[in-house]
Structure 1
Amino acid sequence: MNNIFPSINKVLFSYLFNLTKVVFLVVLLITGRPTSAQKKYDFDVSISGKGTPIIMIPGYSCSGKVWTETVNHLKDKYECHVLTLPGFAGQPAIKESLLETMRNEIIAYARDKKMQRPILLGHSLGGFLSLWIASTVPELFHKVIVVDGVPFYPGMQNPSITPDEVKKFVNKAALITQFTSMDDSQLITYSENVARQLVTDSIKAKSIANWQSHSDKVTLATAFYEMMTTDIRQDLGKITAPVLVLGSQYETLERSQQILSEQYKYLKKLTLHNAESKHFIMYDQPTWFFNELDTFLK
């Protein structure tokens, strides 16, 4: 695998490739405090704020609490629908394909809620999902924000590689075996080591590690496999909404721009900015991050 995917980003790619080692919605009363959806959907959701709806999707293994500071920043003008995906951070797992199921359920959720001009905001895996959703139902969403996510992760290093080629090196059954063979203490240690590479703040790193160590091990394996073998780059051409992509730093900012420009070349309405940041940009560069959100959402 290393011959095909040499390291270009010690932060993001060590995170991705080291992984191979190891309701019917009823809201009776909406107030300023979060409300929970009853179970028609496999994801958990809390709702707070008033205004234009934003569906906020966390990344791999993370709780919706990853968006707490972002919700506090937005809730006076936006109704924040914060998800935690099944199998992650203590949520019950599902047997179906995670990414495809979440794509379909989030679309159904937005329609069931009769959202007007909703916005998608996703980090990492959540950013991938936001892109897939917006390309599937381009008429439904008003704007899309992707925080350090891409439409095809292996393509960041080798733009010509295909999912079938990736499958020669990334085996789903082997990933499941590797994850399920770890006991809880091993998963905690592994999660802590990974988290320290993804964020500067040590307290935030502990939260990220805790969410991952409380995630379903089969979901951790299969979600990684699905991310590595699903390529939606050309589907981006179907998206009609403006898209803001905020990337972290892979080697240099110039190189980061080159990589993401290639990933998003089929997108019609792209705003692309990179931060001097690790993977969790909203934690490492909050002022920059909030300024970018505010400018794009005007």
Structure 2
Amino acid sequence: MIRTAASAFALLLAATAPALAVPTAALAQSPAAHGHQHADFESGRFHVRVEGEASAPGRDLILIPGLSSHPDVFNGLISRLEPGWRIHAVHVAGFSGAPAEANAEGPVAAPVAAELARYIAEQGLQKPVVIGHSMGGTIGMMLAARHPDSVGKLMVVDMIPFMGPMFGGPTATPESVAPIADQVRAGMLAAPVEAYNAQLVGTINGMINTESERAGPLDQALRSDRTVSANAYRELIVTDLRPELPNITAPVEVLYVAFNAPGMGAEVTDGIYRASFQTLPSAQLTRIDDSAHFIMLDQPEVFAAEVNAFLD
């Protein structure tokens, strides 16, 4: 992989990167405070917004946004879903104004995945469909690989199982890129506020082609806890899920976009995704053209059509 192009993609991921049949009694009764209902589930890792009604057991959908993102990025998808699905939108602690709580120190993605498995079990969910964008895709892969009986289907949106080669070349290992990941984390934490925020603006502009859709994700990133975001990004760089992918038993579809950097393009991106998911040959890889990282914002109709077909 071309180092400069790969690093550009990694930089894009850095800044926002940021159920089944839950009974009504299981929902926290606080819609007036938040404008929606929260699942009755105590965790320092995330809270869950629940919308809609499942028309049958198993017709529940868990949505996991990316690094420094809010579940509102899926609002356009939710409005376009075929009827009969109950939505469980995950808001990770520390992102987009949510208190950091248990995510204030250490890894974020792996603990969130573990807690999602507990959420599914305690809420009595029957093989929910899981869709994760960016870091949410990493969390989804962790959940499906480490708790395969918990997931009915998995869609990964613009994320690969190991980001290490973007920083350390094709022979990278978690150990070899750890010093680089430490430097990236330290740089994120040490940057002056003005410089950090300016970088977020540039990053969001690169991650969303549609100018009118940038304000929301930018606000979400600006309101995210910087330490949580930096710790989570470090974790993403050193996490290699490729050896765990064969543990996934659920059908998997991966939506992705072509890398937009010198020396990269559709064919190169296709090859990178094929190589990245070669330990899960059953995964369906689908490239979405004319879009940047936030496919749900740049290509909302196409994205919703892909999701509805996947849910069918």
Judge same fold: TM > 0.5, yes or no. yes
Query: How far did 1:205 drift?
Result: 1.5
The aligned runs of 1:242-253 (5 Å cut-off) are: 242-250=251-259, 251-253=264-266
**1:255-286 superposed Cα distances (whole Å, 9 cap, x missing partner):** 21111011111114211111122111111112
Where does the alignment leave 5 or more consecutive residues of structure 1 unmatched? Answer: 20-24
1:169-227 CA-partner distances (Å, limit 9, x unpaired)? 221xx445433334544433221111000001223212111111111111111111000
**Pick aligned residue for 1:200 from 198, 209, 230:** 209
Task: Please tell me whether residue 127 in structure 1 is matched to residue 137 in structure 2.
Answer: yes
Match of 2:178 in 1: 167
**1:292 to partner: Cα distance:** 1.3
For residue 267 of structure 2, what is the aligned residue in structure 1? 254
SS at match of 1:8: helix
Determine the structure 2 residue equivalent to 1:89: 96
The aligned residue for residue 290 of structure 1 is 304
Deviations 1:119-166 (A, max 9, x none): 110000000110110001112211000000111112368443100010
Change beyond 3 A, Cα 1:28–1:63: closer
**Identical amino acids, percent of aligned pairs:** 25
- Tell me if the contact between 1:91 and 1:215 (Cα under 8 Å) persists in the aligned partners: yes
Structure 1 equivalent of residue 3 of structure 2: 6
1:155 to 165, 168, 171: 165
Residues in 2 aligned to 1:16 and 1:5: alpha-carbon distance in whole angstroms: 17
Runs of 5+ unmatched residues, structure 2: 17-24
Residue equivalent to 1:22: none
Q: Is the 8 A contact 1:156 1:259 kept in 2?
A: no
Tell me the number of residue pairs that the alignment of Structure 1 and Structure 2 aligns. 287
Letter in 1 for 2:286: H
- Aligned pairs for 1:1-298 within 5 A: 6-8=3-5, 12-16=9-13, 26-27=26-27, 34-38=36-40, 40-41=42-43, 42-51=45-54, 52-74=59-81, 76-93=83-100, 94=103, 95-155=105-165, 158-171=169-182, 174-250=183-259, 251-276=264-289, 277-298=291-312
TM-score between the two structures when normalised by the length of structure 1: 0.88
Q: CA separation of 1:30/1:230 partners in 2, compared to 1, >3 Å: closer, same or farther?
A: same
CA distance in 1, matches of 2:77, 2:15: 28
Q: Retained in 1: the 8 A contact 2:29–2:38?
A: no
- Distance in 2 (CA, whole Å) between partners of 1:212 and 1:147 is 19
In 1, Cα distance between equivalents of 2:231 and 2:91: 17
Cα drift, residue 30 of structure 1: 11
Query: Could you tell me how far apart the structure 2 residues matched to 1:179 and 1:139 are?
Result: 37
Q: 1:18, 1:68 → 2: CA distance?
A: 20
Aligned to 2:22: none
Closer/same/farther in 2, CA of residues 190 and 9 from structure 1, 3 Å limit: same
Higher relative helix content = 2
CA contact 1:153–1:227 (8 Å) conserved in 2: yes
Cα deviation, residue 72, structure 1: 1.4
Query: What amino acid does structure 2 have at the position aligned with 1:90?
Result: G
After TM superposition, the structure 1 stretch with the greater mean CA deviation from structure 2, 155-164 or 117-126, is 155-164
Kindly indicate whether the alpha-carbon contact (under 8 Å) linking 2:15 and 2:68 is maintained by their aligned counterparts in 1.
Answer: no
User: Higher RCO, 1 or 2 (CA under 8 Å, sep at least 6)?
Assistant: 2
**Equivalent residue of 1:50, what SS?**
coil
